[in-house]
Amino acid sequence: MTDAPHDDQPFRLHLNRKVPMRDGVALSADIYLPRARPGGADARHPTLLLRTIYHSKDPRYVGWTMGFVKAGYAVVLQDSRGRHDSDGRWDPYVCEIPDGVDTHEWIARQPWSNGRIGTFGVSYPGFTQTCAAPGGSPHLQALVPIASQQDNYGHHRCDGLVAWANTVFFMNMLGRTMQGEALARLDFPAIWRRLPLHGVWDDVGDIPYVRGVVEHEAYDAFWSVYSLRHRYDQVEVPAYFMTGWYDSLLAETLRVFRGWRTRARSELARRKTKLIVGPWSHQVAPWGRPEKGYQPEPDGRFDAAVFGPLACMDIVAEHVRWYDARLRGVPGGIDDEKPLRLFVMGANLWRDEDEWPLPGTRWIDFHLRAGDGRNGGLTREAPAVAEVPARYRYDPDDPVPTWGGSYQMKDLGGPKDRRDIAKRADVLVYTSAPLEGDLEVVGPVTATLHAASSAPDTDFTVSLVDVHPDGRAVMLTDGICRARFRKAASGWTPADLMQGRSPYERLYEDPAFRPEMLTPGVVEEFRVDLWATANRFKRGHRIRVEISSSNFPRYDRNLNTGGRIGFETERNVAEQTLRHDARHPSRITLPVVAVSD
């Protein structure tokens, strides 16, 4: 243990303190304490905990810690089991439940803690907070999970597909430390294309979790053993959730927020839990990028969009506001604010709301209309007569590249300009006339396609784009449907969104559900979940919808054979037909909350 309690330091530091778990394994923690005042009156402090697989000495979190200590909080930065300086073997996600509870109990027994604990962290450290919350520790009283999840069935296995790049990233978790330096020298575009998926890392190392993601197509014990879906009713403590419209964990964070607000055991947790969603991604957020010293862009600039200074936030100060209210009972106004704070892109303003989705939402259909070849129209009016269908070829050897959207990697996700993507022969483009007034869309977005394929199984993708008068085609949100899972969405309507039900909830809920292949050439209905967005389409802008069959490497490629996902290597080209006529009204459904005529 290293101890630096000297008066010339603004804090006291204890490095690599061993924290015993119930099974005798010791986890390593760094402890930062406010400098003691004369007389020792402030010897015990409310304590903030980070539990991470990435390293307790991450510069971002050490920087946050300095702000927390300055505000009078003790801070514990702990390496997860089997990671870095901690002992034991890391069992992804599963081990975090008992280890989190045991760490809470250990902190409460320390002479520098007053027994009141708050937690913080982004992504995996967001989940280490929420997964331990149902454990019943009376000491845990405030969470700030950023980019967290309910489980990984909606993150690494999304509506039955494999979120491929996210899964491949888990190679970084081989061993005790991050493998970034070695992996940076690998050709990832080539690795992403490896087949079968199940053996992607056979020549590098064995990663059981990656194999498990590929093997477990159904929502079984592999996913449910650490899921929050069946444990919300054990939650006693409120949480302040944070995410971004371009975050790869946006959909999961919305699920967790709704579960906390509607199903938590305590009235306090249900009433006080909050959510903020900004114009951010998993890597581009208020705290900035590592290559810029974690400083945000002052004008809110992000790829093809500029969101203005309101998109920035003092992340440490926002945490402290929450902790002061929960751990110190200091009335700072945060409990008087509405539970949701949503940034509306385009308007570049915040909306403060009471519920998600927003009460009074008008679910408005915009219909895909036939046009010239790949380019069609988008209208409020449904087609009244037969219209010429659109056709394209999907070749899994030449997939549509991921470019924008809620993607984990900052170089490919976010509000990208899609003009080059729209030129591809395998992308259908449907664009509205210039809007005569502003149209504000806030909430979940879905699409309904009527399509046929020459293949027994294939994918259909939908992207929602804001086309600016200068020609920029800015990605807002997107989604994908794997044909074999289409029947899981049978009977679903947009009204179900008001109950928090996405189109593919049945994949979670019905163990008897079985995938069903297509009959080649037969037109069927496909529901596509585009997650959610908040955007004001300004007067003169146009709404665009893109249709295709791949989004790679964000999702695995459908090889169009109908074989077992992740274990096949044969690839076929699929001939796709999209119908949009009076009998087959293909459309996107937008949650309109304000319209200026």
Catalytic residues: 123, 247, 282
Looking at the chain, the number of H-run helices and the number of E-run strands are 12, 26
Q: Measured between alpha carbons, how far is 273 from 144 in angstroms, rounded to an integer? A: 10
**Distance, first Cα to last Cα, the chain:** 67
526 burial via Cβ count (<10 Å: 0-12, 13-18, 19+): buried
Q: What's the sign of the alpha-carbon dihedral 554, 560, 565, 566?
A: negative
Two tokens at 430? Answer: 């449907």
* 403 touches 551 (CB < 8 A): no
Going by C-alpha positions, the residue among 200, 226, 239, 403 that lies closest to residue 323 is 239
CA angle (416, 420, 421) in 5-degree steps: 75
Two tokens at 64? Answer: 């946050």
CA angle (173, 101, 104) in 5-degree steps: 105
Contacts for 531 with CB less than 8 Å, ≥ 6 apart: 250, 251, 254, 406, 444, 445, 477, 478, 479
* 172 touches 180 (CB < 8 A): yes
* 272 touches 334 (CB < 8 A): no
Question: Rounded to an integer, what is the distance from CA 131 to the centroid of its chain?
Answer: 16
β-sheet bridge partners, residue 215: none
Q: Measured between alpha carbons, how far is 259 from 270 in angstroms, rounded to an integer? A: 9
Question: Which helix H or strand E contains 189, and what residues bound it?
Answer: helix 188-192
Residue 553: cis peptide before it, omega within 30 degrees of 0: yes
CA angle (344, 544, 396) in 5-degree steps: 115
**Helical residues (DSSP H) of 26-118, grouped into ranges:** 59-70, 96-108
* 81 touches 21 (CB < 8 A): yes
Please give the backbone phi and psi of residue 517, each rounded to the nearest 5 degrees, phi first: -75, 165
Going by C-alpha positions, the residue among 285, 431, 305, 284 that lies closest to residue 371 is 431
Two tokens at 585? Answer: 């009204």
What's the per-residue H, E or C state across 222-245? HHHCCCCCCCHHHCCCCEEEEEEE
Question: Rounded to an integer, what is the distance from CA 557 to the centroid of its chain?
Answer: 20
